[in-house]
Amino acid sequence: MNVLERLRGRLIVSCQAYPGEPLRDPDSMRRVALAALHGGAAGIRAQGLDDLRLIRESVDVPLIGLWKDGAEGVYITPTADHAVAVAGTGADVVAFDGTDRPRPDGRPPAETIAAIHAAGRLAMADVSTVEEGVRAAELGADVVGSTLSGYTGAGPKPTGPDLDLVAELAAALPVPVIAEGRIHTPQQAAEAIARGAHAVVVGTAITHPTTITGWFAGALPSR
Ligand SMILES: CC(=O)N[C@H](C=O)[C@@H](O)[C@H](O)[C@H](O)COP(=O)(O)O
């Protein structure tokens, strides 16, 4: 069965820690990924070349890889060179910024997709709008994610997932759509599939204990 077939209707767990955090080391992320597989994840999404190499050695489920370079603007696998490096870790799918914003090297996203395909991997475009998804599919992206909805404009980050975008992408695109971003409950994950997603990525709500702890701590009455 090919990689995308293995993910149909299934859960992908994103295993990422942020710079300076206690879990920010490849072996910790490898263990988090293994724990997610014990819970029924069908795929793993992970960040950074060292994490990806180590996770690849330990898991044989579909692995979506990306390289976050920076934290503002276009930072998810922002150039073709980043994509080639991610492909070199053995990730099956290389996720990249598929928005219409200019890349730091000024080169078009088509070059990133071509580089991913030349390396024998699938290209996942992380987008924020239907128009970006349509364009990414036209350029040859194999799968499109709603990952960047809510992160490209000014203003506060939304709290819930953009399942309307998931449904619109699923209706508009000839390629599979992955629901990703702020999916915090099992019900939201199931709804994403019901609204046409091929698979669902959950990160924070499963693998980011600092944020999850903050949800609980913040819910208690102040002393
Ligand atoms: C916007 C951006 O940089 N998203 C990143 C993409 O890989 C990750 O920081 C997210 O954790 C991931 O998309 C999963 O989403 P959530 O953690 O909300 O379930």
Substitution site in 13, 16, 64, 202 for ligand 1 pocket (most atoms within 8 Å of beta carbon): 16
pLDDT at 2 over 90: yes
Query: What is the per-residue pLDDT across 38-90, written as a single tens digit (0 to 9) for each?
Result: 999 999 999 999 999 999 999 999 999 999 999 999 999 999 999 999 999 99
Which residue lies with its CA nearest to atom 19 of ligand 1? Answer: 203
Cα 9 to Cα 18: distance, rounded to the nearest angstrom: 28
Query: What is the per-residue pLDDT across 179-220, written as a single tens digit (0 to 9) for each?
Result: 999 999 999 999 999 999 999 999 999 999 999 999 999 999
Which residue's entry shows tokens 């090919």? Answer: 2
Ligand 1 pocket, residue 78 CB under 6 Å = no
Which residue lies with its CA nearest to atom 9 of ligand 1? Answer: 16
What is the per-residue pLDDT for 45? 99
Task: Supply the mean pLDDT for the chain.
Answer: 97
| Ligand 1 atom showing the smallest separation from residue 206 Cα | 19
Contacts of 64-71 spanning 24+ positions with Cβ under 8 A: 64/12, 64/91, 64/92, 64/93, 64/94, 64/95, 64/124, 64/201, 65/89, 65/91, 65/93, 65/94, 65/95, 66/94, 66/95, 66/96, 66/126, 68/16, 69/104
Query: What is the per-residue pLDDT across 98-152, written as a single tens digit (0 to 9) for each?
Result: 999 999 999 999 999 999 999 999 999 999 999 999 999 999 999 999 999 999 9
Task: State the burial class of residue 19 (Cβ atoms within 10 Å of its Cβ: 0-12, 13-18, 19+).
Answer: exposed
Ligand 1 pocket, residue 184 CB under 6 Å = no
For 146, the token pair is 């709603």
Percent of the chain's residues with pLDDT above 90: 97
pLDDT at 223 over 90: no
In this structure, are strands 10-15 and 43-47 parallel, antiparallel, or unpaired? parallel
Ligand 1 centre distance from Cα of residue 174 (Å): 24
What CATH architecture applies to the domain 3-218? Answer: Alpha-Beta Barrel (3.20)
ipTM score of complex: 0.99
pLDDT at 163 over 90: yes
CA distances from 1 to 5, 124, 144, 197, 202 (A): 6, 19, 20, 19, 23
What is the per-residue pLDDT for 43? 99
Element (H, E) at 193: helix 186-194
CB 59 within 8 A of CB 40: no
| Ligand 1 atom showing the smallest separation from residue 18 Cα | 9
Ligand 1 pocket, residue 28 CB under 6 Å = no
| Ligand 1 atom showing the smallest separation from residue 151 Cα | 1
Ligand 1 centre distance from Cα of residue 223 (Å): 32
